[in-house]
Amino acid sequence: MTPAELTSTNGARAAAGELISAEGLTKWYGSRAAVDGLALAARAGEIVGLLGPNGAGKTTTLSMLSGVIAPDAGTVKIGGFVVASDPIVARRKLGLVPQSIALYPTLTALENLHFFGQIQGLGARDAATCASKLLATVGLSDRANDIVAGFSGGMKRRLNLACGMIHSPAVLLLDEPTVGVDPQSRGRIFEVVETAARAGAAVIYSTHYMEEVERLCSRVILIDHGHVVAGGTSAELIALAGSAPRIDVLTRDELKPGWCDGIGRAVVFADGARFGASLELAALDQAPEVIRRAERAGGEVLEVHLHRPNLQDAFLKLTGHALRDRQ
Amino acid sequence: MLRAIFLTLGKEFRLIARDRVGLFMLLVAPIAVIAAAGFSLANVYGGQTSSTVKSGIAFFDDDRGVVGRAIHDVLADSKSVELIVATDRAYAEDLVHQRKLAVLAVIVPARATEALRRGENPKLLVYTDPVKYLQSARIELMLAQLLRSINAAAAGDARARFATSSAELRDQLEQAQAAADRARAQVEKLSAGSEAARAKMAAHLRSEVNDAMADARAFVSAALNAAMKRLEGQLDHEDAQQRAKVDELKNYFNQLGQAQNQFRDWLAQLQALAGRHASDIPPPPAIPEPPSDLLTFNPPPIDLSTYRAQFERAINLPPPHIELPPMPAIPAIQIPEISRAGLADASIPGALGYTEVNLGGKEVGFVGGFNAFDLQVPGFAVTFLLVGMLMGVSLALIDERDWGTLERLRSVAAPISATLAGKLFARFVVGFIQMVVLFAAGWVLFGISLGRAPAALLLPAASIAFAGAAFGLIVAGIARTRDAVLPVGAIVIMTMAAIGGCWWPIDFEPTWMRQVALVLPTTWVMQAFNDLMIRRLPAASALVPSGIDFGFGMLYLIAGVAIARRRFAA
């Protein structure tokens, strides 16, 4: 299934329930297209993962979806309203959780929530009510009146998330919301996002963490160089990438050439005093044979890692192993 | 939109309230700087401050007279002077130039008092420290005032003496004037008496002459009648004699006629007798004819009545007009009029001086100056207002960007312009409150003047707060990072404050700099504050400069919004 087929399938399927959709989104920075003709859509209750290496165009895409930057081409609709022509109405249905912490450090958690709630259209009383609930949801009730500057990274991330969704937006855009947080905070953030989706919000979740996508997202859009590379469920992407199980073995001695002939082609590596190799398996039942041969060829097997094919494998397969430092 | 502005406003107030460093810069730092500048420069502007710095003055009195003592006493009593009495001139100079204990030295030369009394112009000697120019100038002004007072006192004394002499002279002149007036009156009285006597004399003479003439006429008439009678007698006698002679003559001629006729007859007979010889007979001589009128002469009788009548008329001539010769004019006695007014005006000219009065007409003394804080409080209040505005607005926007909140705000259901407007409005309100607080602190702590209409100070305060906030938007748009805001803001603030007259009176600046200053809002706001506080002009004086600053603010706002929209909205 091609990316075009995937997106068109989603578009056709979700026409009635789509809370956010984008067509032909394009953004140029000089002569470089950060995003080029991108299309996506998300329905109520759906969490769509937005995957891509650094510089793939994820943040630019979210910025265009949220109206923070204007696209050079293409349209964005939120709740049926075109962002370019009805920005206020469209944005009222939108909640953005930026990649960087977007909080006033010298205000308290409650004051931040009040402000962002009211600036999104809530009345003072509603904002207070929603703020209290959200603080409880993200586990910050006991720090409600503390200055944000004193919060830990995880607390700030949770509050950052809360500020983006205090007005119960129909569409929630999350840009790497779990960067640098501890597992506890990450888990709480997952719960909040899942709760929002269950409440009917369409969520677009941009991240580098494959396990987050695999856990949260019902659908994934993989972009690279501003284009949609692939789209679908995680399983569909893994299948699309054609990934096979992989086994990594660490041995005491250097593995002799030809040690895995007949099984597959291994990538040998050395790690200081230890040696090892990584190779794809045609089937998982080849693993015992690989371990036996490694023990014979490498003296002693110190560690064995068996990888089922996952989204990361598909990701790397589809986007390549080259470093992406360009932002 | 409006709701978003107010929400932003509230949020900004919270942020500012939590920014202790910012609050320190807004309120405490200005007061500290104002205090330092005000106390340091108090003597420069000459006004009274709560703490006056004393200037050392070395003093050597070589006069030892009234002048020396007067100068010593005044300097010793001055609150702004610490008098150091020197034992000689060299030591006094040393105190200024070498020891630097005195701003200047005053030497009263020997015999200055005597010279002054003699009408000469003695001069004090003054040694100054050029480095302490302003202090020296101020003390020299005080000395000038003192010397003017001494001169005025001396002139006053001379005037008093002259006034006494003038009064005495005036009395004498008035007495002489009275005597002259009396003499003039007597002469005029004598003149009037003489004229009356002359008229009386003329009448008397006329009467006497008439009487004499009547007597003479009667006498002459009688004599004339007698003479006429005698004359008539004589004439009648002579007439009779003449008539008789005439008759005799007539008879003679008649007889002669007859004889002639007889001769002619005889001749005719002779000639007839002579025949042919008749022609030889000569003609007889012709006998002349008697005068024809003799024959008819019959003179009328002599009538003397005509002569009598003429004599009568001659005697009866009208009386002669007797006019006495006029009295000789009384010689004019020239008594010059003595002008009392002229005498009263005559006086020794006074010394032209001056005293400074304020616009209310109240005397404020000699070079009254003003409370240095009247300049420093608004000046540094404006400076720190600009610090708060330029730094506040620009750094606040950069903070919003750095905190990530700007990105979030660009995605919310409110235009980014509402955020900008709310932020500017908040800064404007804070700046306005800052000005009010600093002026109140200046009033309480430093006794600044709030002018005739303290409420009028709010207008320029609002105008500069507005202009500053709008200019901050421009700086925010130009300076891309927090590190760039500081130098850009500092340069802009320092330049605007310095040239605009926030730190010193703008009149200290050269003309070209004052021309440049016209394009700065600080210039106009300081003009408004100086007019209201120091010149104590009415509230209306602040309208034009405040209006100009509001105009600057609008220009900055338009430019700032254009720049900031590109910078922050996209």
**A278 to chain B, minimum CA–CA distance in Å?**
42
| Residue A10 confidence class, pLDDT cut points 50, 70, 90 | very low
CB atoms within 10 A of CB B31: 19
d(C-alpha B397, C-alpha B384), whole Å: 19
Sign of CA dihedral B380, B386, B389, B395: negative
Q: Contacts of residue B19 in chain A, CB cutoff 8 Å?
A: 106
| Residue indicated by tokens 């700032």 | B560
d(C-alpha B441, C-alpha B345), whole Å: 56
Determine which of A105-109, B179-183, B554-558 has the lowest per-residue pLDDT on average: B179-183
d(C-alpha B498, C-alpha B523), whole Å: 9
Question: For B164-210, what is the HEC assignment?
Answer: HHHHHHHHHHHHHHHHHHHHHHHHHHHHHHHHHHHHHHHHHHHHHHH
Closest partner residue to B403 among A66, A94, A103, by Cβ?
Answer: A103
- Any chain A CB within 8 A of the CB of B23? no
**Cβ B18–A106 below 8 Å, yes or no?**
yes
Chain A residue with minimum CA distance to B15: A106
**Cβ A119–B8 below 8 Å, yes or no?**
yes
From the list A65, A66, A124, the residue with the least C-alpha distance to B416 is A66
From the list A19, A12, A1, A7, the residue with the least C-alpha distance to A227 is A7
Would the pLDDT of A80 be above 60? yes
How high is the pLDDT of residue A2?
A: 37
Closest partner residue to A118 among B7, B14, B411, by Cβ?
Answer: B7
Query: How confident is the prediction for chain B on average, in pLDDT?
Result: 82
- Any chain A CB within 8 A of the CB of B403? yes
Closest partner residue to B407 among A88, A102, A121, by Cβ?
Answer: A102
Phi and psi at B399, nearest 5°, equal -60, -45
Q: Check: CB of residue A163 under 8 Å from CB of residue A102.
A: yes
d(C-alpha B471, C-alpha B527), whole Å: 20
**Cβ A91–B18 below 8 Å, yes or no?**
no
How high is the pLDDT of residue B520?
A: 92
Q: Contacts of residue B412 in chain A, CB cutoff 8 Å?
A: 91, 116, 119-120
Q: Check: CB of residue B143 under 8 Å from CB of residue B67.
A: no
Would the pLDDT of A109 be above 90? yes
Q: Token pair of B493, please?
A: 């603030």
d(C-alpha A5, C-alpha A24), whole Å: 15
**B407 to chain A, minimum CA–CA distance in Å?**
7
Q: Token pair of B100, please?
A: 């630097």
Q: How many CB pairs under 8 A join A and B?
A: 73
CB-based burial label for B222 (10 Å; 0-12, 13-18, 19+)? exposed
| Packing angle of the helix pair B2-18, A109-119 (nearest 10 deg) | 160
**Cβ B14–A66 below 8 Å, yes or no?**
no
Q: Contacts of residue B408 in chain A, CB cutoff 8 Å?
A: 96, 98, 102, 116, 163-164
Q: What is each CA distance from B413 to A93, A203, B4, in whole angstroms?
A: 8, 18, 9
**Cβ B413–A147 below 8 Å, yes or no?**
no
Amino acid sitting at position A240: L
From the list B501, B381, B388, B497, the residue with the least C-alpha distance to B450 is B381
How high is the pLDDT of residue A1?
A: 37
How high is the pLDDT of residue B463?
A: 94
d(C-alpha B27, C-alpha B435), whole Å: 9
pLDDT in tens, B325-371: 777 776 666 666 666 665 555 566 666 666 666 556 666 555 556 77
Percent of chain A beyond pLDDT 70?
Answer: 91
Q: Check: CB of residue A231 under 8 Å from CB of residue A6.
A: yes
Strand partners, A75: A23
pLDDT in tens, A185-220: 888 888 888 988 998 889 999 988 888 888 888 888
CB-based burial label for B89 (10 Å; 0-12, 13-18, 19+)? middle
What residues contact residue B358 under an 8 Å CB cut-off, 6+ apart? B364, B368, B536
How high is the pLDDT of residue A89?
A: 86
How high is the pLDDT of residue B553?
A: 93
- Any chain A CB within 8 A of the CB of B415? yes
Phi and psi at B450, nearest 5°, equal -100, 10
Is residue B328 classed as helix, strand or coil in its secondary structure? Answer: coil
Query: How confident is the prediction for chain A on average, in pLDDT?
Result: 83
**B18 to chain A, minimum CA–CA distance in Å?**
6
Percent of chain B beyond pLDDT 70?
Answer: 90
Query: What ranges in chain A are assigned the alpha helix state H?
Result: 3-14, 58-66, 87-92, 109-119, 124-137, 153-165, 183-198, 210-216, 234-241, 287-298, 311-319
What is the b/e burial string over B525-557, where b = at least 16 CB atoms within 10 angstroms of the residue's CB? bbbbbbbbbbbbbebebbeebbebbbebbeebb
How high is the pLDDT of residue A212?
A: 86
CB atoms within 10 A of CB A282: 10
Closest partner residue to A91 among B10, B14, B411, by Cβ?
Answer: B411
**A107 to chain B, minimum CA–CA distance in Å?**
7
Would the pLDDT of B50 be above 60? no
Would the pLDDT of B304 be above 70? yes
From the list A314, A307, A312, the residue with the least C-alpha distance to A243 is A314
Query: Mean per-residue pLDDT for A146-170?
Result: 89
Percent of chain B beyond pLDDT 90?
Answer: 12
- Any chain A CB within 8 A of the CB of B111? no
Determine which of A15-29, A229-243, B105-119, B214-228 has the lowest per-residue pLDDT on average: A229-243
B342-B347-B348 Cα angle (round to 5):
150
**Cβ B408–A164 below 8 Å, yes or no?**
yes
Which H helix or E strand runs over B373?
helix B372-386
Would the pLDDT of B206 be above 90? no
**A120 to chain B, minimum CA–CA distance in Å?**
5
Q: Check: CB of residue A50 under 8 Å from CB of residue A62.
A: yes
Q: Check: CB of residue B526 under 8 Å from CB of residue B502.
A: yes
Determine which of A146-160, A312-326, B144-158, B503-517 has the lowest per-residue pLDDT on average: A312-326
| Packing angle of the helix pair B416-446, B2-18 (nearest 10 deg) | 50
Q: What is each CA distance from B306 to A65, B101, B221, B227, B311, in whole angstroms?
A: 167, 135, 14, 14, 8
Is residue A94 classed as helix, strand or coil in its secondary structure? Answer: strand
d(C-alpha B451, C-alpha B370), whole Å: 12
How high is the pLDDT of residue B45?
A: 67
Is residue A35 classed as helix, strand or coil in its secondary structure? Answer: strand
**What is the ipTM for the molecules in this complex?**
0.76
Q: Check: CB of residue A233 under 8 Å from CB of residue A48.
A: no
Determine which of A70-84, B85-99, B273-287 has the lowest per-residue pLDDT on average: B273-287
Counts for chain A of helices (H) and strands (E), in that order: 11, 14
How high is the pLDDT of residue A4?
A: 38
Q: Contacts of residue A69 in chain B, CB cutoff 8 Å?
A: 570
Q: Check: CB of residue B273 under 8 Å from CB of residue B193.
A: no
Q: Token pair of B545, please?
A: 């400069």
From the list A130, A142, A206, A204, the residue with the least C-alpha distance to A168 is A130
**Cβ B413–A69 below 8 Å, yes or no?**
no
| Residue A114 confidence class, pLDDT cut points 50, 70, 90 | very high
Q: Check: CB of residue B436 under 8 Å from CB of residue B462.
A: no
From the list A238, A239, A216, A242, the residue with the least C-alpha distance to A50 is A216
**Cβ A119–B414 below 8 Å, yes or no?**
yes
- Any chain A CB within 8 A of the CB of B408? yes
Is residue B481 classed as helix, strand or coil in its secondary structure? Answer: coil
**Cβ B405–A103 below 8 Å, yes or no?**
yes
- Any chain B CB within 8 A of the CB of A83? no
CB atoms within 10 A of CB B57: 29
Would the pLDDT of A322 be above 60? no
